[in-house]
Amino acid sequence: MNRKKSVWGKRAFIAGFIILTSLCWCPWAYGHITGRTLAIPTWAVGAYICAAALFVLEWVFLFISGLAISDEELPGVLRDLEAVGRDEATGGEGE
Amino acid sequence: MFNQKIAILTGICLGSVLISYAAYRRGKGKSADDYFVAGSSLGYFVLIFSLLASFLSAFAMLGMSSMGYRMGFGSLFVLTVNLVPLGFLWYFMHRKTFLIGRTRKWMSMGAPFGERYGTTMRTIIPVIVLVASIPYLVAQVRGIGIMINTMSDFEIPYEAGLFFAPAFIALYLILGGMKGAAWVNTVQGVFFTVMVFILFFAVMNKHGGFAATMDEVALRHPDLFALGAKGGKLWSYPMIFGFSAAMCLGSVCFPQPYMHAYSSSSAKGFKVMIFVFGAICVVVISMTTMIGIAGRLFEPDLTKLTADEIYSRTADATLPPWGAALAVAGAFTAATTTVIGVVFGNASNIANDLYKLVKPQATAKQLVMLGRICIGAIMAVCIALAWNPNIPIAELAIIAFGIMAVTVFPLWGAYYWKRATRFGAIAGTLAGVGMNLTFIVLGVVSGTGVKSMLLTPQDFLLNLNGFLVSFIVAGVVFFGVSLITPLGETEKKSLELFFHPSLD
């Protein structure tokens, strides 16, 4: 159940990331706005607002949501990965 | 003749050498791991400023102020708001780089590709990184030449200035390795961030404050505040998207995030590093862009190439001589730290990916020695290419990022798509880079120009620019070829590690 919840939680974050990224990469929703706000173009203010919203979403995902890797989990993950035999992989530096 | 500005600059360079050497000597040993990835020991403060400094460059300082000067506020989509997605993109694309890299002792960018796709891909990646890095490095070396030239009040020729920083860079890289470079990057990163703030406020203050300055620029140059200027061609949506995507995805694929993921000592350090990077870029590079926009009030008639001097010229016009020297030294350190990051990443790739294939039993001492030789050779090539400039710094750097961006597909496939094959990875990468190089040749042969062909939407490309077309082709070829080719033994064996349940 928890795993299912985290998968959906992750998907929700990814959907948010994609929408806000599209707004940070192209002003399709606000580029038509003319005039100036705070002395700079109003569309530039729109871009900054989208960037700020994405920044907040990233902060929640990385540090609040519990969905991103933490230092508590790190030793266990590294131990699991080290258990995967070196001879299982080829072409890498471990060879 | 004694020149105060050059004396300040020389002092900063010598200080960098000392910091680098001291940092390296503090390390426990001189193993290849210590030299190339700092023994995975860097805390998050060093990581943040080291990554920041290794990316923020002559491009971010001189290039973006030049671009702001020439093209206005649309430049915010080149290196500011468009980089905020790096917070999650780096997380998703390099989380496994960080985790598996720690386990497998990866030290180069080719390592994950080699382990997932085999030796051919591991050989191709360092060559492509090197090809893509050259225009970026040339941009830095060119920026350094311009700064030395303007800081010496044109007493030191541009060509002589090209040798100034590379000599120092080679010296402290040879002495210090990654641990030294990281500490130098950190100190210089803090320094140039502070200097950008000081110059920004000085420039705006000169014309009665930020709002008054922007009002004046808007009155004289309304095009700088508009999207779709020049008949809809400048900052059209396809152009904005092409720049934004190329720069952001190129940032994912450049060597610096790989090397810093390997160097991170904790998960928190890794997350803080990738999170803070975009925010600092938005603040610092918005300032350099707006310094360039305000520069129209100081120097209204600079040409495409001389606009690269607007950062130095506004510093001269608004600060006392020693203050201007420190402000430009901030840009200078930004350029040198980026050269460090990129040259070091390439040297590491060549030593660990290419040389180790030829000589698997190479000792740590031999690898470090080869790394040092590579640093010297790369610097020499960049100086030669920067000798006769014809493309502005910003555009040179964007070309580099656009070429690198095509490797995002095999990287994503390595970590998230079990069906990705080595044939798909090789074909997609070669198709993308091949298309970019074709557009470069086409730009020269047709007289359209390399810059226009790659960066400006072209009618014959359905109003897309060369980069975007190359990127799309790379993706289509990667997915198509992967789907029609079988998984080889290497790919099958790598799945257990790359898709281990603990990585979910």
What tens digit of pLDDT does each residue of B399-435 get? 888 888 899 999 999 999 999 999 999 999 999 999 9
CA of B95 vs chain A CAs: smallest distance (Å):
8
Crossing angle (nearest 10°) for helices B408-416 and B422-446: 170
Residues of A in contact with B95 (CB under 8 A): 68-69
C-beta separation of B243 from B397 below 8 A: no
Q: Which of B418, B16, B380, B417 is nearest to B180 (CA)?
A: B16
Partner-chain contact A69 B278, CB within 8 Å: no
Helix or strand run (H / E) with residue A40: strand A40-41
Contact A74 B266 (CB under 8 A): yes
Q: What is the pLDDT of residue A86?
A: 54
Q: How far is CA B130 from CA B19, B97, B110, B377, B379, in A?
A: 27, 20, 12, 12, 12
From A58's Cα to the closest Cα of chain B, the distance in A is 6
- Please state, rounded to an integer, the average pLDDT across all residues of chain B: 84
Show the tokens assigned to B39.
Answer: 């023994």
What is the predicted pLDDT for the residue at B41?
A: 54
Backbone angles phi, psi at A40, to 5 degrees: -110, 165
> pTM value?
0.86
Structural contact between residues B72 and B293, judged by C-beta atoms closer than 8 angstroms: yes
* Distance of residue A87 Cα from the nearest chain B Cα, in angstroms: 9
Q: Mean per-residue pLDDT for B374-397?
A: 81
**Contact (CB, 8 A) for B262 and B106:** yes
Checking if the pLDDT of B396 tops 90, the result is no
Q: Where are the beta strands (DSSP E) in B304-402?
A: none
pLDDT of A1 > 60? The answer is: no
Q: Select the residue of B119, B214, B497 nearest A40 (Cβ to Cβ).
A: B214
CA distance B243 to B398: 8
- In tens, the pLDDT along A50-89 reads 999 999 999 999 999 999 999 999 999 989 888 886 555 4
Task: Using alpha carbons, select from B325, B316, B295 the residue that is nearest to residue B207.
Answer: B295
**B87·A58 Cβ contact <8 A:** yes
Mutation pick from B103, B236, B262 vs chain A, by most beta carbons of A within 10 Å, is B103
Chain A nearest C-alpha distance from B32 (Å) = 13
Q: Which has more confidence, B49 or B274?
A: B274
**CATH 1.20.1730.10, domain B2-393, yes or no:** yes
ipTM associated with this complex: 0.88
For A78, the closest of B99, B119, B490 (CB atoms) is B99
Cα–Cα distance measured from residue A85 to residue B495, given in angstroms and rounded to the nearest whole number: 12
Q: How many CB pairs under 8 A join A and B?
A: 167
Tell how strand A36-37 and strand A40-41 pair up.
Answer: antiparallel
Q: Which part of chain B has CATH 1.20.1730.10?
A: 2-393
Q: Is the pLDDT reported for residue A15 higher than 50?
A: yes
Out of A81-85, B48-52, B56-60, B425-429, the most confident range is B425-429
Which ranges in chain A belong to alpha helices (H)? 2-25, 42-59, 74-83
Q: What three-state secondary structure class fits A37?
A: strand
Chain A residues touching residue B408 (CB < 8 angstroms): none
Contact A41 B103 (CB under 8 A): no
Average pLDDT over residues B190-213: 92
Q: What is the pLDDT of residues B86-101, one digit of tens each?
A: 999 999 999 999 999 9
Under an 8 A CB cutoff, do B88 and A61 touch?
yes
CB B413 within 8 A of CB B478: yes
